A = this chain, B = another copy of it.
Amino acid sequence: MQLLKERILKDGTIKPGNILKVDSFLNHQMDIPFINKLGKEFKRRFEDCPVTKILTIEASGIGIAALTAQYFQVPVVFAKKAQSLNLDGEMYTAKVESFTHKKVYDVILSKKFLTAQDHVLILDDFLANGCALKGLIQIVQSSGAVLEGAGVVIEKGFQGGGDELRRMGIRLESLAIIDSMKNGSLIFRESH
């Protein structure tokens, strides 16, 4: 998505450890009209899918999922990290290793909100090694719902998680794929 690539080049910054910061428009401060455009693009790419629910994970996926859900006219459910006193009853759970935070945490979702009747689109802001997405996919599989696909705003292609998911047969749409961040310069994968 050209608009996104231009915005990353304009406002993204590269930090040590292959961390790309896009916190001025995507995941700390949120440029709402811009994210609405990303939402429309997700709708365009998954136009043919009978999505009944959008699944994301706290925290930075929530705003993107909420704005995108307006175009699909479906509810959002967001998985939570770690056990919460305020979640009761039956839960789907999966273990996830965070690239950014360098720790393992549990991802949980109330069973009430995902059933075998659902057709799920997973959305998130970033895809690096794919651990968060794999955790969400595991939750969808546990529920018996149909996984229609996954959409991420920025895929760090050089970390391999996205291509691994594609090899697994997951329909994955990344609005921008970065294939290299060497020497502080970004190289995007050609759009397919």
Contacts and interface: CB of A to CB of B under 8 A. Distances in A.
A72 to B, nearest CB: 9
Interface stretch (A24-32, A40-48, A146-154, A184-192): A24-32
Contacts of A109: 28
SS of A interface (majority): mixed
B113 A29 contact: yes
B86 A100 contact: yes
Interface residues of A, number: 42
Contact of A28 (B28, B32, B73, B77): B77
Contacts of A78: 28, 30, 59, 63
Interface stretch (A2-10, A15-23, A161-169): A15-23
Contacts of A70: 32, 36, 67
Given A67-B66, A100-B85, A110 B23 contact: yes
Nearest to A17: B85
Copies in the complex: 2
B101 A28 contact: no
Given A19-B86, A58-B59, A67-B66, A76 B32 contact: yes
A37 B23 CA distance: 28
Nearest to A25: B75
A87 interface: yes
Contacts of A100: 84-86
Cβ-closest 10 pairs across A and B: A58-B59, A63-B66, A59-B59, A30-B76, A62-B62, A29-B113, A32-B69, A29-B77, A62-B63, A86-B100
Nearest to A102: B85
Contact of A15 (B15, B23, B63, B88): B88
